[in-house]
């Protein structure tokens, strides 16, 4: 299975302390008694079946939702007691369903991350911001797209542009909600490579990636959280958590998972 990831002792950038979330009006438990800490420089994968609470956890981490019980802290800021605009400066959030205006160039789309708007606010962008946007596109393997309209970019290219946009504010935490959704195999591998390069070039950046498939995990992922029915099934170093027994319990059917080099492969077959 490969060894456990080394323990990190960096600053806690995200901390859930006995968090529960109930969905009105019936009070259905979306998350139940979740405790979880992400530290600077860690790269977490969050896996679980549909309805496990993965996206709800990311909404809390980005300040878009509030716990019914317990507390969520982002870099020492208590969610529910801090202005969401303040969290936007330290948390980058990417969802596969977020659509970028297709008439914008890739560079301009990245710049809109500074203002959090769909369309550019030109007066607030400086030359250093434009240079930073170009650097991020280069870092994510999209240097040649800077002046290309988003509408003619592939889905894989758009996924990397969305990530560059989220990084333009220099966040300490990057949240990726199913970033590989609807990507074909070459586009998936391009994004995996881009995220691995990002981890190497920004060693203090913490990332949390929600996915359904272990095959999508970049080599940089060093921790994993398994959720089922809103509860934590397992959490810790990726080499300890991503084993066949744990994934079988989490997904409720026999799963075999193996590590091939720095990547993972899972199969499922009923005996």
Query: Do 191 and 165 share a domain, yes or no?
Result: no
List, for residues 17-59, the tens digit of each pLDDT value.
999 999 887 778 899 999 999 999 999 999 999 999 999 999 9
List, for residues 83-96, the tens digit of each pLDDT value.
878 887 789 999 87
Query: Do 268 and 220 share a domain, yes or no?
Result: yes
Query: Do 110 and 240 share a domain, yes or no?
Result: no
Helix, strand or coil for residue 106?
Answer: helix
Calpha distance 5→7 (Å, rounded): 6
Out of 151, 170, 189, a domain closes at 170
Residue 6: the pLDDT is: 42
Query: Do 269 and 204 share a domain, yes or no?
Result: yes
Helix, strand or coil for residue 2?
Answer: coil
Question: Do the beta carbons of residue 36 and residue 28 sit within 8 Å?
Answer: no
Task: Say if residue 78's pLDDT is above 60.
Answer: yes
Query: Do 210 and 166 share a domain, yes or no?
Result: no
Query: Do 138 and 177 share a domain, yes or no?
Result: no
Residues 6+ apart with CB under 8 A from 10: 39, 40, 41, 42, 204
Angle between helices 127-139 and 185-201 (to 10 degrees): 120
Structural domain range at position 114 = 102-170
Output the domain CATH number for residue 47. Answer: 3.40.50.300
Residue 2: the pLDDT is: 34
Please compute the mean of the pLDDT values over residues 202-226 and round it to a whole number: 94
Residue 270: the pLDDT is: 65
* Domain count along the chain: 2
Residue 97: the pLDDT is: 79
Query: Do 191 and 238 share a domain, yes or no?
Result: yes
pLDDT band at 13 (very low <50, low <70, confident <90, very high): very high
Q: Is residue 4 part of a domain?
A: yes
Task: Say if residue 212's pLDDT is above 90.
Answer: no
Residue 271: the pLDDT is: 53
Query: Do 270 and 224 share a domain, yes or no?
Result: yes
Query: Do 70 and 189 share a domain, yes or no?
Result: yes
Calpha distance 112→101 (Å, rounded): 10
C-alpha pair distances (Å), 244 with each of 240, 251, 265: 11, 11, 11
């Amino acid at each position: 299975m490969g060894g456990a990831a080394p323990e990190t002792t960096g600053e806690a950038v995200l901390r859930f302390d006995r968090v529960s979330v109930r969905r009105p009006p019936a009070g259905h438990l979306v998350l139940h008694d979740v405790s979880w800490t992400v530290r600077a420089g860690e790269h977490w994968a969050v896996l679980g079946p549909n309805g496990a609470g993965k996206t709800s956890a990311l909404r809390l981490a980005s300040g878009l939702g509030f716990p019914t019980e317990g507390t969520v802290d982002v870099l020492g800021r208590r969610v529910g007691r801090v202005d969401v605009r303040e969290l936007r400066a330290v948390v980058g959030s990417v969802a596969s369903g977020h659509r970028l205006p297709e008439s914008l160039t890739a560079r301009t789309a990245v710049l809109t991350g500074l203002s959090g708007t769909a369309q550019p606010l030109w007066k607030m962008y400086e030359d250093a911001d434009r240079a930073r946007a170009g650097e991020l596109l280069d870092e994510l393997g999209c240097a040649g797209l800077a002046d290309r309209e988003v509408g003619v970019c592939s889905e894989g290219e758009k996924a990397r542009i969305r990530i560059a946009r989220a990084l333009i504010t220099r966040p300490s935490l990057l949240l990726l909600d199913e970033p590989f959704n609807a990507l074909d195999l070459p586009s998936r591998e391009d994004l995996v490579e881009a995220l691995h390069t990002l981890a190497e070039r920004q060693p203090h950046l913490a990332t949390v990636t929600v996915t359904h498939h272990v095959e999508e995990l970049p080599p940089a992922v060093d921790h994993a959280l398994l959720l089922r029915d809103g509860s934590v099934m397992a959490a810790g170093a990726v080499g300890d958590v991503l084993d066949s027994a744990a994934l079988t319990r989490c997904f409720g059917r026999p799963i075999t998972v193996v590590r091939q080099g720095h990547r993972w492969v899972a199969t499922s077959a009923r005996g």
